[in-house]
Chain A
């Protein structure tokens, strides 16, 4: 079955440590996205990538970094510069220049203590 996989589902880190969240898709989608969601809030775009080796900042990119070395993978690193990293992180993918909607992963809940 095609889909988008985020791992791990829950992640705990100590303050000051960098942490990388995994996102893999086998849908042959060109574009991939990272969103952050805080309790009771909507989703906010962190970074997105439309093609391999290219990505753009979203609305809240500060303190985050990404890479897109393969079409299937779009890992997100939460750096120590991110002031409030505890949140629910969602990865999505879509066909580029298509009216079809996004496919979302099941999310990673990051807790920094």
Chain B
């Protein structure tokens, strides 16, 4: 699975949009981009995933560049409860490749939402 690069940390203001970047320049055609977040001392929580189209759900939006080498997770109105470590993960389509459904977590971005 392709490797991802994320900033180590970032701050954002409560009520403002938080834009979290992720580089995945070696992503291949059948690999998806997943985002998870982990609030301190809890298990990670799935946020969103996408292949090439932009995606939106009740938690966030995922913007993937046309060449798919990078993506941005957008939290539209950050709250203090969004303070967490956010992980960007690239994963092969489990229906095409027998990768064992594994998810490989990197270091993530530590996001601090400030009042």
Chain A interface residues (CB < 8 Å from chain B): 31, 33, 35, 41-45, 48, 50, 56, 58, 88, 90, 92, 94, 96-107, 109
Interface range for B? 20 to 34
> Could you tell me the distance in whole angstroms from the C-beta of A49 to the nearest C-beta in chain B?
9
CB-based A-B contact count at 8 angstroms: 64
Contact residues in A for B43 (Cβ distance below 8 Å): 90, 92, 104-107
Contact residues in A for B107 (Cβ distance below 8 Å): 41-42
Cα A42 to Cα B32 in complex, Å, equals 20
Contact residues in B for A101 (Cβ distance below 8 Å): 34, 36, 46, 49, 103
Contact residues in B for A88 (Cβ distance below 8 Å): 41
Q: Is the CB of A99 within 8 A of B102?
A: no
Q: Is the CB of A45 within 8 A of B34?
A: no
Contact residues in B for A56 (Cβ distance below 8 Å): 100
Cα A107 to Cα B42 in complex, Å, equals 7
Q: Is the CB of A99 within 8 A of B42?
A: no
* Binding site secondary structure of chain A: strand
**Given known A42-B108, A99-B49, contact A90–B44 (CB-CB < 8 A):** yes
Q: Is the CB of A31 within 8 A of B42?
A: no
CB-contact partner of B105 in A31, A35, A48, A94, under 8 A: A35
> Could you tell me the distance in whole angstroms from the C-beta of A9 to the nearest C-beta in chain B?
10
**Given known A98-B94, A101-B34, contact A106–B105 (CB-CB < 8 A):** no
Cα A97 to Cα B94 in complex, Å, equals 5
Q: Is the CB of A97 within 8 A of B101?
A: yes
Q: Is the CB of A43 within 8 A of B44?
A: yes
Contact residues in A for B32 (Cβ distance below 8 Å): 99
> Could you tell me the distance in whole angstroms from the C-beta of A59 to the nearest C-beta in chain B?
8
Q: Mark B80-115, 1 if CB is under 8 A from A, else 0.
A: 000000010000011100001111111110000000
Contact residues in B for A58 (Cβ distance below 8 Å): 102
